[in-house]
Structure 1
Amino acid sequence: LVFVSLPSSETVKEVVLGDGGLSSKLSKGSLIVDMTTGDPNMTRKIAKTLLQMKIEFIDAPVSGGPRGAQEGNIAIMVGGSLEQYNRISPILRKISTNVLYSGELGSGHAIKAGNNLLNLICRLATFEVVSLLVKDGVDPETAVNTIQKSSGRNYATEITLPDNILSGKMNQGFTTSLMYKDSNVALNLASLHDLEMPLGTLASALLSEIGNDFGWQADLSTIALSYEAGTGAWIRPKDRSK
């Protein structure tokens, strides 16, 4: 049993199938669990190749951020056969209480990519609205706390803004480049199905501008800097802004 969690499916392919890779070291009947935020189609191709070697491959990406990991309730989305899920879930539950069966191989990666695209859309929309409210004279913490108790609540109002922006930490532990990669996995999947994704496409384009302006390896919290620069609405604590 081997777990891998790497930046992309391309990296997984190289590590697993490349020269001297995992596939050349593992015995028949081995199981590789890919916890990468990966491309579902690449996942299926890797699994098909490994199947010829009698090696199993399933996807099990995670979502919930550092807090979810620390608290042991991060979502683990398992894609594979039900038999594989039943076999691996007791082990995954040692990591988290939220182990979810997503469906056949690649389903976990598909849901994770869709989840991160939705996260990005909600995140940008939340910063846009909070900036508006601050410009109109509302205290940013009051705005976020009130929205969190209202119908507009989302991950950004629950965790991103309180924990990373309003606190002044500016350290979510996730880079702009990774979020951009994840959102485009979802958009590429939509393209394969001839689906238009106007909100997702716009969100990805806006994130691209932020990456170009503030650096692709910068923490995703720099979205706050972009909105502050663009609107003049100060969201971070002024005494911790430097």
Structure 2
Amino acid sequence: MTLFANKVAFVTGASQGIGKATALILAKYGAYIVAVDISKEVERTAEEIKQLGRECISVITDVTNRERVESAVKTAIKQFDKLDILVNCAGIVSSSLLLDLPEELWDKTIDVNLKGVYLVSQAVSKEMVKRRTGKIVNISSQASKVGEIGNGAYCASKAGVNALTQVLALELAPYNINVNAVCPGYTDTEIMQKVFEIRGPIEQMTPADYEKDLLSQCAFEAYGQT
């Protein structure tokens, strides 16, 4: 499949969950992948992508650190000479009632989920501006639209991602760079399994024939199988 043939995708949070699934499906459809994560597990993602016959490099970095982000982008440019797609997927979930939420947990959640999007988008978009083309997709959340008890920091960070996405879309449009956010609901990934027991309730709310619908199947393939 060659939908993204010769395109280079920079995917953060690629060691597990939605980030890993996104990297794999972009590779499946022809893209070269820069798999980025703070965890060494991202190297496994790179190996799986290579088994698909796609070129891939893994870069271990901290999206909250400007120098490390810029170094990761330089590594990607050195390898592939361009970046066509950015998927900002690195994120954490913090669970605590606001009255009990430690300041350090608030800071860490905002840093990873929001500052990380800012730093990576800034570094990658500078390369895209040079070529006057690019696609940026920020992985936000339904939690950005509704409050969730015990998820104050997470909800705030994802609402910030939505606002930042809108600003980036306006500022980068003159350079033919599209910026969008995707807001998934509960997704059965490693990070969610540590916080919620979600499979049973979500399956009960899901129509039995959802896989028969083409759009649902595409979403299931991209995000449901990790």
Q: If the length of structure 2 is used for normalisation, what is the TM-score? A: 0.28
Higher helix residue share: 1
Structure label with greater radius of gyration: 1
Question: Taking CA–CA contacts closer than 8 Å with sequence separation of 6 or more, which of the two structures ends up with the larger relative contact order?
Answer: 2
Q: Which has the higher strand share?
A: 2
